[in-house]
Amino acid sequence: MTTLLALCGSLRAASLHRELLGAAQDLAPAGVSLRIASDLGALPLFNPDLEAELPAAVRRLHAEVAAAEALVIASPEYAHGVTGTIKNALDWLVGFEPFVGRRVAIWKASPRARHADAALRETLRTMAAEIVEPACLSLPLLGARLDAAGIRAAPAMADPIRAALRALAQGPAPAAAPGWLLRPAQAGDATRLAALALQVWLSTYAWEGVSEDIAAYVLARFTPAAFAELLADAQRLLLVGEGPGGLLGYAQLRRGAPQGGLEVELETLYVQAPAQGTGLAQALLAQARLAAYRQLGAPAIWLSVNARNERALNFYRRAGCIECGETWFELGGGRHLNLLLRSPNMSRTEGEER
Ligand SMILES: Cc1cc2nc3c(=O)[nH]c(=O)nc-3n(C[C@H](O)[C@H](O)[C@H](O)COP(=O)(O)O)c2cc1C
């Protein structure tokens, strides 16, 4: 059974969005159940101070989200924005890791509500949810005078609802087996790591050509001897992704340079261009977070990313990382803005030995 969870953005007893969700519960195809989240009106207004000891209504919402394969958000527009009910519920889900990557469909009972739709999309993208376009609905229910039974009986409403539920329940296509394996780096990897790091660094940052400063920097930093030292350093931990032809990427953790209360830094996560988009970067990040938790005792890690590296920033945002400050990288008299990010906290179940 695929369980979908609906968040209704209207608290009105006669809410059109609530009727829409009621109709959808009856229209769900075999093997799919749509549950409507318990009273979102009972959630306290979001306050980070309350996160230390979550209120019961928040714990209920978290449990419902964790138990669902995908979410439907059905909400009216209030004054060109999302309703406070939905924004508040989403604020309680920002730091809740199971929400990251969750498939979400946006449903609205009025095609006029463009502003709330745009704002909701922006929020969901920031929270690293996956918006499932074929499952999004915009139905002309405002003024149609239909309750749940009426919606169910009208093919112009019922057919798109069924199709949306099917699209949301279907899930993404299963991933093919990866062409790489992850393992801890060994002393014998130093030469290959140096070459890999040099290649990835230049292709990422030498946008405008290889200057004297850049050449001097990379040739001094990415050497077999420097990597041999990193591999022998008790404060550091390196993981590699290896394919049949050699190393494809690596992640490097460092303890002892705390930032914002976090002890462990993800100093480097480099993946060769041909291995980008294969899931290797996600796997290295996940494994690095696990290693930070299990071997270095850090439930969350911090990292810095060049502010112009949109690809990397989007990657970390999709993984649930949030911005927490800025820093500068200096090279040859030039200063480059870097953004500081922190990962979500590792939950106890995720961190358990498998
Ligand atoms: C306070 C308030 C503000 C509203 N603002 C907008 C708006 O900006 N744009 C819009 O299209 N509809 C707006 N509406 C109309 C609602 O979207 C419409 O009444 C909808 O049916 C409410 O959803 P519900 O029936 O599920 O409660 C507003 C309604 C209220 C009560």
274 and 142 fall within a common domain: no
Residue 328 lies in a domain: yes
The finding on whether 114 has its CB within 6 A of some atom of ligand 1 is no
330 and 210 fall within a common domain: yes
Taking the C-alpha atoms of residue 348 and residue 184, their distance in angstroms, rounded to an integer, is 23
Q: In the predicted model, is pLDDT for residue 221 greater than 90?
A: yes
Residue 127 lies in a domain: yes
Q: Give the CATH number of the domain where residue 93 resides.
A: 3.40.50.360
Residue 176 lies in a domain: no
153 and 186 fall within a common domain: no
Helices assigned H by DSSP within the chain? 16-27, 56-67, 84-93, 114-126, 148-153, 155-170, 190-205, 212-221, 224-232, 280-296, 310-318, 348-351
The finding on whether 17 has its CB within 6 A of some atom of ligand 1 is yes
166 and 124 fall within a common domain: yes
Residue 178 pLDDT level (bands cut at 50, 70, 90):
confident
56 and 200 fall within a common domain: no
Average pLDDT over residues 198-223: 95
- 204 vs 7, residue with greater confidence: 7
- 197 vs 354, residue with greater confidence: 197
CB 125 within 8 A of CB 152: no
Taking the C-alpha atoms of residue 288 and residue 346, their distance in angstroms, rounded to an integer, is 11
% of the chain surpassing 90 pLDDT = 79
What rounded mean pLDDT belongs to the chain?
93
Residue 174 pLDDT level (bands cut at 50, 70, 90):
low
N-terminal to C-terminal alpha carbon distance within the chain: 25
How many helices (H) and strands (E) in the chain? Answer: 12, 15
**Could you report the per-residue pLDDT of 111-131, keeping only the tens digit for each?**
999 999 999 999 998 888 899
Helix (H) or strand (E) holding 3: strand 2-8
pLDDT at res. 51: 87
**Could you report the per-residue pLDDT of 251-310, keeping only the tens digit for each?**
999 998 899 899 999 999 999 988 988 889 999 999 999 999 999 999 999 999 999 888
Q: In the predicted model, is pLDDT for residue 354 greater than 50?
A: no
Rg of the chain (C-alpha set): 24
38 and 145 fall within a common domain: yes
**Could you report the per-residue pLDDT of 21-74, keeping only the tens digit for each?**
999 999 999 999 999 998 899 999 999 999 889 999 999 999 999 999 999 999
Residue 192 lies in a domain: yes
**Could you report the per-residue pLDDT of 316-340, keeping only the tens digit for each?**
998 899 999 999 999 888 899 999 9
Residue 300 lies in a domain: yes
Residue bearing the CA closest to ligand 1, atom 11: 113
pLDDT at res. 348: 65
Pick from 290, 305, 190, 339: which is nearest to 250 by CA?
Answer: 190
Residue 14 CA, closest ligand 1 atom number: 25
Residue bearing the CA closest to ligand 1, atom 23: 76
Q: Give the CATH number of the domain where residue 246 resides.
A: 3.40.630.30
58 and 119 fall within a common domain: yes
For ligand 1, the distance from its centroid to the CA atom of residue 106, given in whole angstroms, is 16
Residue 32 lies in a domain: yes
The finding on whether 116 has its CB within 6 A of some atom of ligand 1 is no
209 token code pair: 């050509």
The finding on whether 75 has its CB within 6 A of some atom of ligand 1 is no
292 and 144 fall within a common domain: no
% of the chain surpassing 70 pLDDT = 96
Average pLDDT over residues 197-219: 94
Residue bearing the CA closest to ligand 1, atom 18: 76
126 and 266 fall within a common domain: no
Sign for the CA dihedral angle at 34, 36, 38, 44 comes to positive
103 and 210 fall within a common domain: no
Residue 175 lies in a domain: no
pLDDT at res. 98: 84
Q: In the predicted model, is pLDDT for residue 352 greater than 70?
A: no
Q: In the predicted model, is pLDDT for residue 175 greater than 70?
A: no
Residue 311 pLDDT level (bands cut at 50, 70, 90):
confident
Q: In the predicted model, is pLDDT for residue 235 greater than 70?
A: yes
Residue 162 lies in a domain: yes
pLDDT at res. 171: 76
For ligand 1, the distance from its centroid to the CA atom of residue 82, given in whole angstroms, is 10
329 token code pair: 């990288």
Pick from 120, 111, 142, 156: which is nearest to 15 by CA?
Answer: 142
For ligand 1, the distance from its centroid to the CA atom of residue 26, given in whole angstroms, is 25
* Domain count for the chain: 2
Domain containing 329 equals 181-351
Out of 131, 151, 170, a domain closes at 170
Out of 170, 203, 235, a domain closes at 170
225 and 276 fall within a common domain: yes
Residue bearing the CA closest to ligand 1, atom 20: 76
Residue 173 pLDDT level (bands cut at 50, 70, 90):
low
Q: In the predicted model, is pLDDT for residue 172 greater than 50?
A: yes
73 and 115 fall within a common domain: yes
